[in-house]
Amino acid sequence: MSSRTSLTIVLAAGEGTRMRSARPKVLHPLAGQSLLAHVLRAAPKGEGAALAVVGEEVRRIRSDAATYIQRERLGTAHAVLAARETIVRGADDLLVVFGDTPLISVATFARLRAPLQNGAALAVLGFRAEDPAGYGRLLVEGGQLVGIREHADATAAERAITLCNAGVMAFDGKRALEIIEKIGNANSKGEYYLVDAVAIVRELGLEAVVIETSEDEVRGINTKAQLAEAEAVMQARLRKAALDAGVTMIAPETVFLAADTTFGSDVTIEPFVVIGPGVTIADGAMIHSFSHIVQASIGKNASVGPYARLRPGTSLGDGARIGNFVETKAATLEAGVKVNHLSYIGDAHVGAGTNIGAGTITCNYDGFAKHKTEIGAGAFVGTNSSLVAPVKIGNGAYIGSGSVITKDVPDDALAVERSPQTNREGGAKRYREMKTRAKPPKA
């Protein structure tokens, strides 16, 4: 199989009117990735595997997929021919898949391609529909696929057939263009239907076959209700994969994962956690209930929540602890950092072992721009402090509770900046006294 080249054309034109959204249908998210990204992920890739997408506004999804525009929406066969320029290059296998069918798997593409190796001109993915209304019906005679009838054109007897067209097809690349160009538009909608390829293959005396799969894999998404159903299927798959990989989940049905979430060993996720795209969780990490995590990396044995919000660009070092009602964004917290209560740490770097007291806020926004807060290693920030960025707090520095820090604090210095401001000389003196009787901050 691997020696055969392939071209996969993803049909993604059209707005998806039934989604009732300004967003193009194939760009709606499912488990944190667009519908189209899911299809592209499952499609054959690597050497000798080309990708083409027919549709607008999809260029940014994957740069290795050529994009073609279908000027008029004249049907699925017409859409395929929008990519004619790449079809004529003649891959061994030409695969056509719809951009609104995100649950399809890598293995199914491989199964669908297998009959081409044995001389079939066309393989069609079929499934037994619970409710076949709306789908094209697969007409099988004597074990041979002889045609596909669209619902609108089907007779009552044909409508009783439950074996349906999933919309994924694999053509022998050498015959594909010849077959697809023969397709006409003599049907009730006056569209060029790709499904008519089956009858043409038969007329040419070639073989067409059906490969069956489960309905869950080929659910097409046309409405928000179908999007939610597909999300449920996807979440069930992701939870099972996480459990199989050794993640402990007390109530997996309450945990939401993204398609790209990665886990180390011995990770625990408590009930009611939402994980968005771009999250990696290392060995031994604990995610407590009601945490919301997006684009973040969580170090070994780190602890998050309950009720924590890790926003994009958060990186937690090994053993770091983020407690309740803490929000982080674009923040690197090195190993062993503790932010245990009620804090906002954004656009910040915090050195190893630093303790950030309850209610600490990095004031990163001055109304015009975002600024960075840098806090050294082994520092201590007292409760209810505001760190007004841009600002640097040195290694080992000690910030008194309730301070509003507007100027850099050197290494090992004490800063107590309250309103009304205390005498800074006095502050430094207290700090030196404090250091002489300093105990390390409580673990």
Looking at the DSSP bridge assignments, the partners of residue 49 are: 6
Nearest distance, CB of residue 127 and Mg ion, angstroms: 14
Q: Compute and round to an integer the Cα radius of gyration of the chain.
A: 29
Catalytic residue among 151, 341, 349, 371: 341
Integer Cα distance of 32 and 24 in angstroms: 16
Q: How many residues form the binding site for ligand UD1 (CB under 6 A)?
A: 27
Binds ligand UD1 by CB under 6 A, chosen from 93, 150, 172, 374:
150
Report if residue 127 touches ligand UD1, rule: CB under 6 A.
Answer: no
Nearest distance, CB of residue 209 and ligand UD1, angstroms: 16
Report if residue 217 touches ligand UD1, rule: CB under 6 A.
Answer: no
- Calculate the dihedral angle through the C-alpha atoms of 290, 292, 297, 299, rounding to the nearest 10 degrees: -10
Binds ligand UD1 by CB under 6 A, chosen from 164, 298, 326, 348:
164
Looking at the DSSP bridge assignments, the partners of residue 386 are: 361, 404
Three-state secondary structure call for residue 253: helix
Encoded one letter per residue, x for contact with Mg ion by CB under 5 A and - for no contact, window 168-207 reads: ----------------------------------------
Q: Is the CB of residue 159 less than 8 Å from the CB of residue 139?
A: no
Cα–Cα nearest to 173, from 121, 236, 109: 121
292 is catalytic: no
CA 1 to chain centre: 29
Report if residue 400 touches ligand UD1, rule: CB under 6 A.
Answer: no
Choose the one of ligand UD1, Mg ion, none that binds residue 44, judging by a C-beta under 5 to 8 angstroms depending on kind. Answer: none
Report if residue 44 touches Mg ion, rule: CB under 5 A.
Answer: no
> Please, which residue, 21 or 324, has the CB nearer to ligand UD1?
21
**By CB under 5 A, what part of segment 219-258 binds Mg ion?**
220
> What burial class does residue 205 get, using C-beta atoms within 10 Å of its C-beta: 0-12 exposed, 13-18 middle, 19+ buried?
exposed
Q: Is the CB of residue 289 less than 8 Å from the CB of residue 271?
A: yes
> Please, which residue, 95 or 164, has the CB nearer to ligand UD1?
164
Choose the one of ligand UD1, Mg ion, none that binds residue 76, judging by a C-beta under 5 to 8 angstroms depending on kind. Answer: ligand UD1
> Please, which residue, 78 or 202, has the CB nearer to ligand UD1?
78
**By CB under 6 A, what part of segment 53-72 binds ligand UD1?**
54, 70
Cα–Cα nearest to 163, from 200, 193, 138, 133: 138
Report if residue 99 touches Mg ion, rule: CB under 5 A.
Answer: no
Task: Give the 3-state DSSP-derived string for 285-306, with helices as H, strands as E and coil as C.
Answer: CEECCCCEECCEEECCCCEECC
Place of tokens 């010849």: 178
Report if residue 108 touches ligand UD1, rule: CB under 6 A.
Answer: no
> What residues line the site for Mg ion (CB under 5 A)?
220
Which positions are catalytic? Answer: 341
Q: Which residues bind ligand UD1 (CB under 6 A)?
A: 11-14, 54, 70, 73-76, 78-79, 98-100, 135-136, 148, 150, 164-167, 193-195, 220
